[in-house]
Amino acid sequence: MSAATTTPEDLNPFHIAAQQFDRAVACMPDLKKGLIDCFKRPNRTVIVEFPVETDDGSIRIFTGYRVLHNQMRGPGKGGIRYHPAVTLDEVRALAAWMTWKCAVIDVPFGGAKGGIAFNPKEHSAADIRKITRRYIAELGDLIGPYTDIPAPDVYTDARTMAWIYDTYSMMHPGRNNLGVVTGKPLDIGGSHGRQEATARGCLFAAERALLRGLSPGRDGVDGARVVIQGFGNAGGNAAQLFRDAGATIIAVSDSKGGIHNDDGLDLAALAAHKEKAGSVVGAHGTRTISNAELLGLECDILIPAALECQLRADNAAAVRAKLILEAANGPTTPAADRILQERGIPVLPDILANSGGVCVSYFEWVQNNENEQWDLQEVNHKLRVKMERATDAVIEQQAQLNRQRGQLPADPGPTDLRTAALVLAVERVADVALKRGIWP
Ligand code: NAD
């Protein structure tokens, strides 16, 4: 066996983010070396360790992180994740991706991310409320409406955001604090359309990219056969919205496994089953499959909407989708990217495809600052405009990079959409950094 086949793939998300960045920077010979070094590191990394007295009467120590990657284009912005696998390197990667995402979708935010390493499924709502409040209290003034603004991510939701807002507001009485966090409930400064914004943005990006010829023989989502990994905020809403747009959802999964019905899933029945059973697995009229099987199903669009590193060196060759739409952050490793590119399977990358979430978070923040509430139609229209503009910009950047290949010191090969999106983002952030000037 060759060394290449025995070396395990590096699945550290921060290393993966760095590899993606290096690939983009190879196409940008004029980017200053100092800026490259600056963009590879987060601006600020905070670790908090704090005790919480849980329902069972014991006192447990929790470890929380908040990383501010870059704030050249505006305050830090990024979700908070509650998951046992949260690590500092994962949060650092997610924060960097947020910087690039905010630049691609062109909202005036930098990148940040947070997380607490614990399993919320093993805790009561009262425990989770205490853990959330203590974490936010520990972060103190490191977050704020004009400095660093959290949002939901894996296993956090509008209820968690309400607790974050309330805790911060208790610490800063007498002023409008609504802009400290987005993804809040509608009656606490939330925005219409935020709940399903990530999925809706995915749909708008996919429709635009297909219209522009990304997947030969298909000019829209109507009639597409779609497979979705993950059935939470991003994946569950994507199932509904893609179905409403005329697609057939043939398989979905969650942390307990997957289900498949080649004739299409009954989403109403599925939602009711998930509500009762706690998983999609076992829904009437479906065949149970593993997450590995799900990723290899033949389909028009595969939407990874769960966690990082799902498409890797060891399974990318088995993918039989015609297009991959990254609702999740970091679902495809660099090795998988290369395999998929060689096989002619385009990947609409996370920093474009799932940027609808942060886009409507930005709309929420604007509404909070103006004490306004826009109606759903207005939010969705504005989201569509932003997603289509960003999709066009990434596709045009890819074409431009492919035209310029011959002029580079070393030919980086054909440019994929991830690299094009990153080049677009890095150029936008670098441009602002140089215009502002490096302090002092
Ligand atoms: P969520 O907590 O609402 O849902 C996560 C889903 O993934 C759940 O259905 C869970 O069962 C499933 N899951 C967990 N582990 C799995 C596994 N090993 N295999 C298959 N499924 C698994 O989280 P979410 O907000 O939907 O986030 C999902 C992804 O989308 C993450 O990568 C997140 O960073 C990204 N994202 C979310 C938003 C947002 O606004 N919520 C925005 C942009 C990107």
Q: What is the pLDDT of residues 170-225, one digit of tens each?
A: 999 999 999 999 999 999 999 999 999 999 999 999 999 999 999 999 999 999 99
Please tell me the distance between residue 1's alpha carbon and the centre of ligand 1 in angstroms: 36
> How far apart (Å, rounded) are the C-alpha atoms in residues 93 and 263?
38
Q: Extract the tokens encoding 277.
A: 């059973």
pLDDT exceeds cutoff 90 at 412: no
pLDDT exceeds cutoff 60 at 4: no
Residue 299 confidence (pLDDT): 98
Q: What is the mean pLDDT of residues 2-8?
A: 62
Atom of ligand 1 nearest to the CA of 94: 34
Residue 380 confidence (pLDDT): 98
pLDDT exceeds cutoff 70 at 388: yes
> How far apart (Å, rounded) are the C-alpha atoms in residues 191 and 65?
26
Please report which confidence band the pLDDT of residue 410 belongs to, taking 50, 70 and 90 as the band edges.
confident
Please tell me the distance between residue 101's alpha carbon and the centre of ligand 1 in angstroms: 17
Tell me if 305 CB under 6 Å of ligand 1. yes
Beta strand pairing call for 347-348 and 320-325: parallel
Residue where the block lists tokens 């385009």: 346
Name the percent of the chain in helix, strand, coil, to the closest 5: 50, 20, 35
Atom of ligand 1 nearest to the CA of 157: 3
Identify the residue whose C-alpha is closest to ligand 1 atom 34. 329
> How far apart (Å, rounded) are the C-alpha atoms in residues 14 and 17?
5
Number of CB atoms found within 10 A of residue 62's CB: 19
Please tell me the distance between residue 81's alpha carbon and the centre of ligand 1 in angstroms: 10
pLDDT exceeds cutoff 90 at 406: no
Tell me if 295 CB under 6 Å of ligand 1. no
Number of CB atoms found within 10 A of residue 201's CB: 30
User: Considering the chain, what is the average pLDDT of its residues?
Assistant: 97
Tell me if 233 CB under 6 Å of ligand 1. yes
H/E stretch holding 33: helix 33-40
Catalytic residue flag (residue 113): yes
Residue 31 confidence (pLDDT): 97
pLDDT tens digits, 336-366: 999 999 999 999 999 999 999 999 999 999 9
Please report which confidence band the pLDDT of residue 3 belongs to, taking 50, 70 and 90 as the band edges.
very low
Q: Which of 5-9, 53-57, 419-423 comes out lowest in average pLDDT?
A: 5-9
pLDDT tens digits, 118-162: 999 999 999 999 999 999 999 999 999 999 999 999 999 999 999
Q: Which of 82, 99, 81 is closest to 41 using CA atoms?
A: 99
> How far apart (Å, rounded) are the C-alpha atoms in residues 297 and 302?
9
Tell me if 253 CB under 6 Å of ligand 1. yes
Q: What percent of the chain has pLDDT over 90?
A: 96
Please tell me the distance between residue 255's alpha carbon and the centre of ligand 1 in angstroms: 10
Beta strand pairing call for 59-70 and 298-304: unpaired
pLDDT exceeds cutoff 50 at 84: yes
pLDDT exceeds cutoff 50 at 1: no
CB contact at 8 A, 143 and 80: no
Residue where the block lists tokens 């936010």: 136
pLDDT exceeds cutoff 60 at 2: no
Q: Which of 115, 78, 80 is closest to 99 using CA atoms?
A: 78
Tell me if 182 CB under 6 Å of ligand 1. no
Please tell me the distance between residue 301's alpha carbon and the centre of ligand 1 in angstroms: 18
CB contact at 8 A, 392 and 105: no
Tell me if 311 CB under 6 Å of ligand 1. no
> How far apart (Å, rounded) are the C-alpha atoms in residues 234 and 155?
11
Residue 164 confidence (pLDDT): 98
Residue 368 confidence (pLDDT): 98
Beta strand pairing call for 59-70 and 111-116: antiparallel
Give the torsion through C-alpha atoms of 416, 422, 427, 430, to 10 deg.
-150
CA-based angle 346:352:357, to the nearest 5? 135
Non-local (6+) Cβ contacts of 266 within 8 A are: 283, 284, 285
Residue by residue, what is the 3-state secondary structure of 345-398?
A: CCEECHHHHCCHHHHHHHHHHHHHHHCCCCCHHHHHHHHHHHHHHHHHHHHHHH
Please report which confidence band the pLDDT of residue 5 belongs to, taking 50, 70 and 90 as the band edges.
low
Tell me if 198 CB under 6 Å of ligand 1. yes
Pocket test for ligand 1, best of 153, 290, 351 (most atoms within 8 A of CB): 153
